[in-house]
A and B are shown apart, each in its own frame.
Chain A
Amino acid sequence: MVQPIPVPEDSINATPALDVQGLSVEFPTRRGVLTAIDDVSMQIAPGEILGVVGESGAGKSITGLAVLGLLEHPGRIAQGAIHVGGRRVDTLSEAELTKVRGREMGAIFQDPLTALNPLFTVGKQLVETIRLHTPLSKAQAEERALELLRSVGIPAPEERLRQYPHQFSGGMRQRVVIALALAAGPRLIIADEPTTALDVSIQAQITALLRKLCDETGVGIMLVTHDMGVIAETADRVCVMYSGRVVESGPVSDVIHNPQHPYTKGLMAAIPSLHDRVEVLSQIDGSMPRLNARPSGCAFHPRCPYAGAKCAAQKPPLQQVGSTRAACWLQQGGTE
Chain B
Amino acid sequence: MNVVLEDTAPALSVSHVSKVFDVSAPWLNRVIERRPKLYVEAVSDISFTVEKGTCFSIVGESGCGKSTVARLVTGLYATTNGDIRFGTGAKGRPIKVQMIFQDPHSSLNPRWRVGDIIAEPIREMKLRDTEKETLDRVRELLETVGLGADDALKYPHEFSGGQRQRISIARALASEPELLVCDEPTSALDVSVQAQILNLMRRLQDELGLTYLFISHDLSVVRHMSNHIAVMYLGRIVEQAPVEELFTNPQHPYSKLLLATIPDIENPKRRVEAQAGEPPSPLNPPSGCAFHPRCPVALSKCSQSAPDLCPVSPEGKVACFVAQAAETADPVPVAL
List A residues at the B interface (Cβ < 8 Å): 55-56, 169, 171-172, 199-205, 207-208, 211, 226-230, 232-234, 252-253, 256, 266-268, 270-275, 277-285, 287-288
Contacts and interface: CB of A to CB of B under 8 A. Distances in A.
A83 B233 CA distance: 47
Interface string B229-257: 00000000000000100010000000001
11 contacts: A56-B161, A201-B261, A201-B278, A205-B275, A229-B264, A253-B268, A271-B265, A274-B220, A281-B195, A285-B196, A287-B163
B33 interface: no
A116 to B, nearest CB: 18
A281 B197 CA distance: 10
B91 interface: no
B96 interface: no
Interface in B176-213: 190-196, 198-199, 202
Interface string B20-63: 00000000000000000000000000000000000000000110
Contacts of B123: none
B220 A273 contact: yes
B196 A283 contact: yes
B162 A199 contact: no
Nearest to B188: A56
B110 to A, nearest CB: 18
A277 B274 contact: no
A230 B199 contact: no
A228 B195 contact: no
B323 to A, nearest CB: 19
Nearest to A234: B270
A281 B265 contact: no
Among B199, B202, B268, the most chain A Cβ lie within 10 Å of the Cβ of B268
B16 interface: no
Nearest to B273: A208
Interface of B: 61-62, 160-163, 190-196, 198-199, 202, 217, 219-221, 223-224, 243, 247, 257-258, 260-266, 268-270, 272-279
B265 A201 contact: no
Contacts of B161: 56, 287
A172 B264 CA distance: 24
B195 A282 contact: yes
B223 A272 contact: yes
A268 B274 contact: no
Given A55-B192, A199-B279, A204-B274, A256 B265 contact: yes
Contacts of A281: 195, 198-199, 224
A131 to B, nearest CB: 31
Closest A-B pairs by Cβ, 5 of them:
A229-B263, A270-B195, A55-B190, A272-B224, A204-B261
Contact of A56 (B190, B220, B261): B190
Contacts of B243: 277
A240 to B, nearest CB: 12
Nearest to B254: A201
A169 B268 CA distance: 27
Contacts of B279: 199, 201
Given A55-B192, A204-B260, 13 more contacts: A201-B257, A201-B274, A201-B275, A232-B264, A233-B269, A267-B191, A270-B194, A271-B265, A273-B220, A273-B223, A274-B223, A274-B262, A284-B196
Contacts of B61: 199-201
Contacts of A230: 263
Among B247, B258, B261, the most chain A Cβ lie within 10 Å of the Cβ of B261
B266 A233 contact: no
B293 to A, nearest CB: 13
Given A229-B263, A277-B223, A287 B274 contact: no
Given A201-B261, A233-B269, A281-B199, A287 B223 contact: no
Nearest to B193: A287
B191 A200 contact: no
A274 B266 contact: yes
A84 B220 CA distance: 38
A196 B190 CA distance: 13
B22 to A, nearest CB: 22
Contacts of A204: 260-261, 263, 274-275
Contacts of A283: 192, 195-196, 199
Contact of A232 (B196, B220, B265): B265
A297 B298 CA distance: 60
B204 to A, nearest CB: 13
B274 to A, nearest CB: 4
A228 B195 CA distance: 14
A211 B271 CA distance: 9
Contact of B191 (A55, A208, A277, A285): A55
A203 B266 CA distance: 18
Contacts of A200: 61, 217, 219, 258, 261-263
A279 B203 CA distance: 10
A228 B276 CA distance: 23
Given A271-B265, A283-B195, A226 B258 contact: no
A272 B221 contact: yes
A205 B243 CA distance: 26
Nearest to A229: B263
